[in-house]
Amino acid sequence: MAALWRRRRRLLGAAGLCRTARALSGKPEYDLLVIGGGSGGLACAKEAAQFGRKVAVLDYVEPSPQGTKWGLGGTCVNVGCIPKKLMHQAALLGSALKDAQHYGWNIAHPVHHNWSEMAQAVQNYVKSLNWGHRIQLQDKKVKYFNVKGSFSDPHTIRGLTKGGKETILTAEKIVIATGGRPKYPIHVAGALEYGITSDDLFWLKESPGKTLVVGASYISLECAGFLTGIGLDTTVMMRSIPLRGFDQQMASLVTEYMESYGTKFLKKCIPTKVEKLESNRLQVTWKNTDSGTEETDSFDTVMWAVGRAPDTKALNLETVGVKTNSETGKIIVDASEATSVPHIYAVGDITEGRPELTPTAIAAGKLLAQRLFGQSSELMDYDNVPTTVFTPLEYGCVGLSEEKAVQCYGSDNIEVYHAYYKPLEFTVAERDATQCYMKMVCLREREQRILGLHFIGPNAGEVIQGFALGIKCGATYPQLMKTIGIHPTCAEEITKLHITKRSGLDATVTGC
């Protein structure tokens, strides 16, 4: 028997031995194995552990093409929401310093921003979150493996460490939550060699200097916004429309404010080449798609923000039959987050048709664990998810855009209430409030159910978060009009919306 077993080991290797042992015992090592230590994966793993299940998390960060790497926690913690919001705050503080003079503060001039100090403080905080996640997993008895996982069979994952050491893990149920990574425009000469992405920006130790941000996504505009806000010469290159998928009237106001704030825009332009000069600066050549003319300029940094791709290449999904969208590469899931293979699930940015947002990934991961190991049958509800774009003048929204509402219900069946307003904070500082605007999209019926709410102004995320509950619960326009506002706030202006677009009347708020 021993000889037979040794022969099997030689023939099958370590991976085959593990699969054979599993087949003989009939029981996988783990109840749940999560591939990906980002927001959704960690939430799912920790929730499953609460039910007394044996859970493991695999997480491995492939360094960016520029060599940037980070710790446990995924995109949001390391190269997304957290460092982005902190650097946005740095830019807001710069604006506050300018306003302060109007409020009687004597500010020494000129005021300079130190990138290295900001970056070090942000990076230190992020590292503390990495450590915190590891401690949480340990406390909840979730086994953490810093390995790169791929499927060997539907219940077996082969993990490789940085040094190439192999680990074989088996699980009854597997959740894929590997998220996405920024795309590079590989058709642009020099893009990969000389450009960076958001994966790199937040970990730069020195200032990026004069920067070209290519793309019109919220990532592009947020990064360009805070770079401008801390005093850097920043240009955004857009091929088409800004903030695709968002309400386009609001998107236009966001970019108008950014232009007035100092960000330059190259509209309807596409890059064709990036070259490194003897001075170490980067010369970018681009083409204007309207005129067909070609132009060049030099920058210290070129950042690509042209979209994100699901991180699935190393997973070996084809081997086990997990279906993906052939165009996007994202994993196809049903309402229960199940893939085409029983017992294999997926949550977060890697899934087709889901919003690429941290809170939805967390909620979906928790609910999945509750369905798998608890008594729950509750599915994730992806309707009316609020979000905010942290541009210099923030844009928050929940529900349908005006375009989507018209598409769904017809223009004759919707009513749009809107207002231009001036935040009280802007008055003494004499700041321009031309783009401070809000609108409420409602069904044009007796109850006038609110379909969407859009707000551009200070603290947009805080404003929208409060109203999101009402809209999630089916709030109507008459109900909102009965809500007493908190005076004096920007949010209270929403409770006073009474001018419709249909009326053609001036929507500028005057007086208290």
State the Cα–Cα distance between residues 96 and 504, nearest whole angstrom: 36
Beta strands (DSSP E) in 98-233 are 142-145, 148-153, 156-160, 166-176, 180-182, 211-214
- Residue 9's CB: how many other CB atoms inside 10 A? 13
Asked, as a colleague might, if the bond just before 355 is cis with ω within 30 of 0, I would say: no
State the Cα–Cα distance between residues 198 and 191, nearest whole angstrom: 14
> In Å, what is the CA distance from 351 to each residue of 28, 59, 334?
26, 18, 10
The verdict on whether residue 219 carries a ligand-binding annotation is yes
Query: Catalytic residue numbers?
Result: 487
The verdict on whether residue 204 carries a ligand-binding annotation is no
Which H or E element spans position 453? strand 450-456
State the Cα–Cα distance between residues 324 and 81, nearest whole angstrom: 27
The verdict on whether residue 189 carries a ligand-binding annotation is no
Sheet holding 234-238, edge to edge: 264-267, 234-238, 211-214, 301-304
> Amino acid identity, residue 450?
I
Backbone φ, ψ for residue 388 (5° rounding): -140, 140
Residue that the structure tokens 């929403």 belong to:
494
- CA–CA–CA angle 306, 312, 314 (5° rounding): 125
Q: What token pair was written down for 46?
A: 């920790």
The verdict on whether residue 85 carries a ligand-binding annotation is yes
Beta strands (DSSP E) in 289-410 are 294-299, 301-304, 308-310, 344-346, 387-389, 395-399
Asked, as a colleague might, if the bond just before 488 is cis with ω within 30 of 0, I would say: yes
The verdict on whether residue 149 carries a ligand-binding annotation is yes
State the Cα–Cα distance between residues 301 and 282, nearest whole angstrom: 7
Positive or negative, the Cα torsion across 495, 496, 500, 506?
negative
State the Cα–Cα distance between residues 86 and 96, nearest whole angstrom: 15
Backbone φ, ψ for residue 85 (5° rounding): -65, -35
The verdict on whether residue 93 carries a ligand-binding annotation is no
Total count of residues recorded for the chain = 512
> Amino acid identity, residue 117?
E
The verdict on whether residue 216 carries a ligand-binding annotation is yes
The verdict on whether residue 222 carries a ligand-binding annotation is yes
Q: What token pair was written down for 85?
A: 């919001």
The verdict on whether residue 220 carries a ligand-binding annotation is yes
The verdict on whether residue 69 carries a ligand-binding annotation is no
HSE (side-chain half, CA atoms, 13 Å) at 306: 22
Give the distance from CA 126 to its chain's centroid.
16
- Residue 487's CB: how many other CB atoms inside 10 A? 9
- Residue 298's CB: how many other CB atoms inside 10 A? 13
Binding residues for FAD: 85, 149, 349
Binding residues: 85, 149, 215-222, 307, 349
Binding residues for NAD(+): 215-222, 307
